[in-house]
Amino acid sequence: MANIRMENEKDLVVEADLSDLQTFVDEAVNNFDIYREEIAVIYEKMPRFDYKYFCFYAYSTYRLLEAAMEFDTSEVGHIRVVAPDEFFYAFYGMIATLHTQALTDEKKELGA
């Protein structure tokens, strides 16, 4: 499980590794409607930041992290995810898969 700590009074640090990805997958899949818009923003913006430099807090895309890792962002000013590069690439792969599935489902619903 990820290590979550306050670096100072406003900076939350989430230290994660590849083993934590399953927690994110489970939370995102089980509650997809809650995270649909957040997943779309991450899908669009994360590549612009070379994946590993993406700022979840700046784009208000931290609800999935917050729920999966069981922390509260209401009192923090910044979230920093510290993880191996592979974590960010795998995380983005998960996001891309969920986003693509959502688009496919929407097309089916519209009869396209």
pTM of the model: 0.85
Q: Which positions ≥6 away from 31 have C-beta within 8 Å?
A: 67
Distance CA 77, CA 33 (A): 26
Digit-coded pLDDT (tens) for 19-74: 999 998 999 999 999 999 999 999 999 999 999 888 887 778 888 888 888 888 78
Question: What does DSSP assign to residue 53?
Answer: T
Give the CA angle between residues 101, 66, 98 to the nearest 5°: 5
Dihedral pair phi/psi, residue 10, rounded to 5°: -125, -5
